[in-house]
Amino acid sequence: MRPVGYVYDPIYLEHDVAGHPESAGRLQAIVSHLESSGVLGRLEELPARDATEDDLALVHSPALVAQVKAASGGGGRWLDPDTYVVPRSFAAALRSAGGVLAAADAVLDGDLSRAFSLVRPPGHHATPDRAMGFCLFNNVAVAAAHLLERRGLERVAIIDFDVHHGNGTQDAFYTDGRVLYFSTHQHPFYPGTGDWPEVGEGPGRGAIINVPYPAGCGDEALMAAYRDVCAPAVRRFHPQFILASAGFDAHFADPLAQLRVSTAGYYEIATLLRELADELCEGRIVFALEGGYDHTALGWSVQACFDALTGNDFAPDPLGRGPPTRTPDVSALLARIRELHGLD
């Protein structure tokens, strides 16, 4: 049985600004939780590599790469009101993208059965030519392009369960068709994109699937989107590889958003994605860390994903299911999205 792996590198902690929600402390909290709970000991550590500028050019303009490099070299600056660059950010961002590339190659080559890249800075808001929303380079999009352009694959699915829409990933593949991009996210919300009529164009038409949810949805509504829209769409697309943009800011404890997912909900989503990979593409799946800003919820939620990837039972977490609330009815929205994408 090939091992389940993880990628981590201490350079990821060197991209940091005191008081910013997208902090090194997020990843420190994840790693210390995984160490103290014994999860890391069951996994194979895979070294990250540095993405090259050629790797980034699979998705990004040379101008964006030069901008981030120059901002780091110049001592750091803010690229937008949310997105900082410090002197070590360019090096961290290269290894963040490279951390997902290394995992994708290791899984495709059969060295690992599945993997989770514990990387930062995160990536899914970074468009081909713009860093934004805490993201410098689009780690998952670069890995998908690498699998398609360099590793001979023809179909890659990207599943994005971060609470924000992955506008950068959508932009990168909007007219492509070789990438199925499925996203659940709070809407309307940052960055403003991801409404359900956004379905792709040209050869990409139908390969972009957005499930925009109102604030207050919880585990049940989220699982309905995965069971009733994601799973049939992924089965029809029949990917050769699945990448997951794994953000945990939909957790009810998260300070930045209001979807009300629990750690158990993340376990269910991760289990469904692992089962789809087993059914459709020889188990090939790589998770990559995106957002998530409550440090306790992050540790338990990442553990839940590893437990799903390794086939372990869910380890009940102290946060539980959260306080009960009235949740919006999303059945009409899901029916409309299923109809739009021909999933009925």
Sorted by sequence, the CB contacts under 8 Å of residue 163 that are 6+ apart come out as 185, 186, 189, 247, 249, 250, 254, 256, 257, 259, 291
The answer to whether 162 contacts Zn ion (rule: CB under 5 A) is yes
Rounded distance between C-alpha atoms, residue 116 and residue 110, angstroms: 15
In b/e form, how buried is each residue of 284-302, taking b as 16+ CB within 10 angstroms? bbbbbbbbbbbbebbbbbb
**In this structure, what token pair is assigned to residue 194?**
């991801």
Binding segment for Zn ion among 52-60, 69-77, 289-297, 334-342 (CB under 5 A)?
A: 289-297
Considering only 34-42, 66-74, 102-110, 162-170, which stretch makes contact with Zn ion by CB under 5 A?
Answer: 162-170
| Residue least distant from Zn ion (Cβ) | 291
The least distance separating Zn ion from the CB of residue 288, rounded to whole angstroms, comes to 13
- Interstrand relation of 77-80 and 83-85 (parallel, antiparallel or unpaired): antiparallel
Q: Which stretch binds Zn ion (CB under 5 A): 7-15, 141-149, 273-281, 288-296?
A: 288-296
Alpha helices in 229-312 (DSSP H): 231-237, 263-280, 295-310
Give the residue with the Cβ less far from Zn ion, 293 or 300: 293
Helices (H) then strands (E): counts for the chain: 11, 10
Q: Does 291 sit near Zn ion (CB under 5 A)? A: yes
- CA 20 – CA 275 distance, rounded (Å): 36
Sign of the CA dihedral with 113 first, then 274, 122, and 237 last: positive
Which residue is catalytic, options 15, 125, 146, 164? 125
Please identify, among the stretches 137-145, 169-177, 285-293, 305-313, the one whose residues bind Zn ion according to the rule CB under 5 A: 285-293
Q: How far is the CB of 248 from Zn ion (least distance, A)?
A: 9
Based on CB atoms, which residue is closest to Zn ion, 3 or 25? 25
Nearest to Zn ion of 250, 343 (CB atom):
250
Site residue total, Zn ion (CB under 5 A): 5
Is 55 an interacting residue with respect to Zn ion (CB under 5 A)? Answer: no
Contact 86, 18 (CB under 8 A): no
- Residue 90 region by backbone torsions, left for phi larger than 0, else alpha for psi between -120 and 50, else beta: alpha
Q: Does 249 bind Zn ion (CB under 5 A)?
A: yes
Does position 164 interact with Zn ion (CB under 5 A)? The reply is: yes
Is there a catalytic annotation at residue 124?
Answer: no
Is the CB of 280 or the CB of 289 nearer to Zn ion? 289
Q: Could you list the active site residues?
A: 125
Using CB under 5 A, list all residues that contact Zn ion: 162, 164, 247, 249, 291
